[in-house]
A and B are shown apart, each in its own frame.
Chain A
Amino acid sequence: MSKDLNIWLDDLLGDIENIQFKRKSSRRVRVDVGSEALPALLELLQGRASYVHLSAISCVDWIEDEEFELVYHVWSYETRSLVSAHTRIPREPGVYLSIYDLYQPAAFFERDIHEMFGVFFEGSPDMEKFILTEWDGPPPMRKEFDSEAFVNQHFEWEQYHPQWLKDLEEEGGGVTTRPEDIRL
């Protein structure tokens, strides 16, 4: 079964231009496809090859290439193999097509990617905020968003050794422990 997977995918996907695939292991196939051909590829995989389960959509921010990589992981219960379809879209404007019509679980992942990376999926049923309801900053999973800088800008670090404790310790009080008394 798995040995034929390559040949079989060759037959199936031969018509699609701009496509490369690589078998990573007996149950994992990596497909690289242009963004214009990806919906057609998924339609073929689902309709003619029983890849009915959308396991996940992952988004990777390649900031140096100014691109987002979208990875669609689809699983077939019949051939027991997982195809990861990789495609890249330009970072600006960051708009792509929804595959909700093909796979309903896509709604969750697309909403999540929209919230975390700011990629808008046309045709997705719900692009409203979900997890970061009260967040109005930039999409936080983008590489240019620096969480530590954000924290330093907006919050003050907790003082674990405040002045009143230092004063107290100078007078000989407080809760200081001599290093030789610390037992680990």
Chain B
Amino acid sequence: MNTDPLLKINRVTKSYKTRGKVFDALDEISLDIKEGEFISLIGPSGCGKSTLLNMVAGLEDCSTGQIVLDGMKIEGPGVDRGMVFQSHALYPWLTVFDNIMFALDCVMKDASKSEKEALANRYLDVVKLTAAKDKKPGEISGGMKQRVGIARAFAINPKVLLLDEPFGALDALTRGELQDELERIWEEDRRTVIMVTHDVDEAILLSDRIVVMGHGPKAKVLDCIEVDIPRPRQKAELMDDPRFTALRKKLVGMLSDESIA
């Protein structure tokens, strides 16, 4: 594997101007992410972790600094990054299958229809939604919608997957189920992932490294914590693992200090 980082976030800041006042959301964030690494961004709400993810996605500009993906400076949204949105962001007028086809139609302009259909079917199978492929998003559960979102992001075969609190809007049971599922899917091809979350357990279960951000304004990276628990991991088994308990305690401690501060 290449030792150069696949994604380089280099002294990135973000400031907003609201009513003439400048608000500094992020302060010189730097982060290197290797190929095949699963990174979680965790931090108190309002710390700008979603902003940072949107900047990697190219949906927001960096005020200063730069983000480089595979040697190319990020200047806007691109198909080399696949985004899973918190609000699933499926088109309600399209079926599950067509939602994935829409993404493939945008990305694989030269591929044949049957090629794209085969891909869509494959990823629907990966997220176990083959039976629901002809349903509209309004007819399936929140967990199923998010599975479609994940399938859509995986199907376009991006260099980096960006997950913005992907399970934040789900009930606890569904969330746990999908976390295990994401772990399973990820094990299959070890894609590079950046996930924003506020769920400590989720971060530990899925990540190689957890990036803890401090509170804003001028949010900084407080710490990068390696998760040295061997994979594949299962949520149920993890709960009794002393390494998990220790990590969890450390992270919760850091985060509650930050929320108070």
A associates with B: no
